[in-house]
Amino acid sequence: MKSYLYSYLILFSLITAIGCANKSTTEKLEDFGTVGDFSFLERNGEQISQDDLKGKVWVASFVFTRCTGPCPQVCATLARLQEKLKAIPDLRIVTFTVDPERDNPKELNLYAENFRADPKRWFFLTGKEEELHKLIKEKFRLAVGHNSPEQSKPGNEFIHSPRIVLIDKSGHIRGYFEGTPTTPEGAPVDKFEDKIKALESHILTLAREK
């Protein structure tokens, strides 16, 4: 009973603190459609599909382990979310590689350890490049692909979005959020911290939904 009450108080404190920090986060989330079917190999060797995420609120990101661009910062942002919202049992983080030819489970596991990713709450997925890129472009509606030969240098082989995607318990995409505090050109992202607080607040709202 005490354990339940303690968890409830933590959740209530999170909701109150984030809500007070940014009142604009009460705006209604849009619905961008469902992610749909997928099944990819997780770093632990198991298959993870959309069915494993039903009833969970989850955030998706798209990186590759050799990336010298925004990927480390995106994962650092997600690591913040993992820590800040660790009291939310129905939250999952799902990171898809855009370079599955190199990013096998071993490489993804080593990469995940850099960000202290909880293997029970933060999944790193790999699979066939064609299937991964199709899912990202057609369902998540984000750009992904090989960089041009002129731009393709080690660590810069792929074009991909640094955005974080929020998905509700029914598998519907509910919003897109900045994953890094700077643009690819190096300019500061306007009100980045406010946007992260908004994401946290929306996660809490969706987690309370039945």
145: left (phi over 0), alpha (psi -120 to 50) or beta: left
Tell me the per-residue pLDDT of 21-76, one tens digit each, with 9 for 90 and over. Answer: 344 444 689 999 999 999 999 999 999 999 999 999 999 999 999 999 999 999 99
Give 103-155 pLDDT, tens digit per residue: 999 999 999 999 999 999 999 999 999 999 999 999 999 999 998 876 777 77
**Domain 2-208, CATH among 3.30.365.10, 3.40.50.1220, 3.40.30.10, 3.10.20.30:** 3.40.30.10
The pTM is what? 0.85
Q: How many helices, marked H, and strands, marked E, lie in the chain?
A: 5, 9
pLDDT in tens, 77-98: 999 999 999 999 999 999 999 9
Q: Is the dihedral of CA 51, 55, 61, 63 positive or negative?
A: negative
